């Protein structure tokens, strides 16, 4: 369904503006403008609220860690808000600009997370300090940002591939860690990620089937499931960051609201003295 509010470039009625509704090459499975005349994909839009919740939860639950690592935590929290806002804008308009803002906000969130939290033990041999790694990450991100304009339709696939590198790093770190609670948290994170990526791929490649069963909402499930996966991923990253970068503390994994609850949210507490995992 085409939105009657679709705008075009002045003087050229055949060429849509990059800000126009439905000017993006990507259109997800959910039917457009069914629930609202100004929101293209209603459920794909409102499901981004989960990123606002994720941003607040990370700061609130990991207060001790945040006191020691204020800049990374507030940077990441702010960028997660940007991911939610820009994804909302994209799915509301399906515009070319919205698509790029959505994808680039994710790219820059990943870049900042890598810059702050990438373990020194895995630095390339030519990198001797965290400052040098910042420069490497910054230059790589700028180049990747420029490249994203060449073929925007493949950006989402490239971003999802980064998850495999994160899983590889997690596997390497878990081999050095004997805390079974951390291993369980990593397994739960992977389960949520598998559910999330399955939803994303289903919406992208099995839209015909989703339409046939009258359930074209898997992309909105992707938003929720990947946010839940990140609720487990970030404390895992923080755990290893304390191990490497904060020798005065020992990371302790806790669960909110309580260990005894069937559904919990992990967080990192800090204890002294530090003992190598």
* Binding site, annotated residues for Ca(2+): 27-28, 30, 32, 41
Mention every residue, 6+ apart, whose C-beta is less than 8 A from residue 187.
none
**Residue 177: Cβ-neighbour burial (10 angstroms; 0-12, 13-18, 19+):** middle
Q: Which of 222, 217, 205 is nearest to 34 (CA)?
A: 217
Contact 89, 66 (CB under 8 A): no
Q: Which of 129, 162, 132, 166 is nearest to 144 (CA)?
A: 162
**Residue 259: Cβ-neighbour burial (10 angstroms; 0-12, 13-18, 19+):** exposed
Annotated binding site: 27-28, 30, 32, 41, 91, 219, 223
Please give the torsion angle defined by the CA atoms of residues 22, 24, 28 and 29, in that order, rounded to the nearest 10 degrees: 50
C-alpha distances in angstroms, 42 versus 86, 131, 169, 194, 254? Answer: 15, 43, 36, 24, 36
Annotated binding site for Zn(2+): 91, 219, 223
Which backbone phi and psi does 144 adopt, to 5 degrees? Answer: -65, -40
Q: Which two tokens stand for residue 133?
A: 């790694």
């Amino acid at each position: 369904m085409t939105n009657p509010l679709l705008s075009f470039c002045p003087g050229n009625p055949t060429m849509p503006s990059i800000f126009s509704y439905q000017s993006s090459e990507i259109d997800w499975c959910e039917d457009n403008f069914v629930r609202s005349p100004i929101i293209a994909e209603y459920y794909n839009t409102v499901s981004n609220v989960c990123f606002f919740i994720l941003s607040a939860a990370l700061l609130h639950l990991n207060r001790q860690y945040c006191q020691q690592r204020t800049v990374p935590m507030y940077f990441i929290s702010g960028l997660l808000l940007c991911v939610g806002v820009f994804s909302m804008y994209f799915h509301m308009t399906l515009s070319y600009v919205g698509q790029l803002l959505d994808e680039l906000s994710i790219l820059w969130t990943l870049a900042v997370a890598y810059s702050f939290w990438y373990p020194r033990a895995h630095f390339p041999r030519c990198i001797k300090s965290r400052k040098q790694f910042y420069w490497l990450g910054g230059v790589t991100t700028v180049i990747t940002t420029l490249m994203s304009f060449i073929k925007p339709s493949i950006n989402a696939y490239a971003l999802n591939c980064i998850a495999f590198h994160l899983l590889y790093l997690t596997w390497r770190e878990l081999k050095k860690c004997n805390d079974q609670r951390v291993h369980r948290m990593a397994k739960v994170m992977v389960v949520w990620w598998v559910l999330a990526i399955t939803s994303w791929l289903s919406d992208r490649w099995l839209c015909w089937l989703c339409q046939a069963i009258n359930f074209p909402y898997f992309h909105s499930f992707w938003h929720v499931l990947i946010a839940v996966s990140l609720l487990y991923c970030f404390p895992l990253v923080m755990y290893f960051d304390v191990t490497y970068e904060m020798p005065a503390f020992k990371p302790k994994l806790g669960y909110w609201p309580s260990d005894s609850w069937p559904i919990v949210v992990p967080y990192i507490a800090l204890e002294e003295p530090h003992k190598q995992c």
